[in-house]
Amino acid sequence: MVVHIVHGINLGQLGTRQPEIYGNLRLEDQIPILQTWLDAHFGGTELRSFQSDDEGALCAYLAQYDGSESVFLINPGAFTHSSIALRDAVATLTSPIIEVHLSHTYARESFRRASLLAPYTRGTISGLGWMGYRLAIEGLVGEVG
């Protein structure tokens, strides 16, 4: 099984962009930590991370890896609230997917409380920082595996 973590717009700037909201860890810092945890709890499960500020690239990635051997976590960033293309891509997936947000989107600006993707995901984890990613992985791998 492969766990794909898909990060959307501006998430390549984690660690420097608004650390008071998103924390100090960069993607390249966190992914090895998650892989180590995954190896310890669900050995033989591969972790792949993909980030793009291009919604077309995100849609293409999801379509390319959709299938019985994949599960997805997605943090679409601002595309959560604005991308009909990404919504449509998520709606067509056969693989399980959970939406994850580092910040507590429901405690922020009102526009952040609406997700175009949520109706097509297994659930949403919001506001738990990087722990939300680990919990989403555990939920998906435990469910499928």
Catalytic residue among 22, 61, 65, 133: 22
Beta-carbon-side half-sphere exposure of residue 44 (alpha carbons within 13 Å):
3
The C-alpha atoms of residue 80 and residue 98 are separated, in whole angstroms, by 12
Does residue 101 have an active-site annotation? yes
Tell me the C-alpha to C-alpha distance, in Å, between residue 71 and each of 7, 26, 49, 106, 134.
Answer: 14, 22, 12, 25, 13
Residue 22 known to be catalytic: yes
Kindly name the residue from 4, 7, 65, 101 that is annotated as catalytic: 101
Q: Provide the b/e sequence for 48-82 (b: ≥16 CB within 10 Å).
A: ebbbbbebeebbebbeebbeeebbbbbbbbebbbb
47: which 2 tokens?
A: 């972790």
Q: Which residues are annotated as catalytic?
A: 22, 101
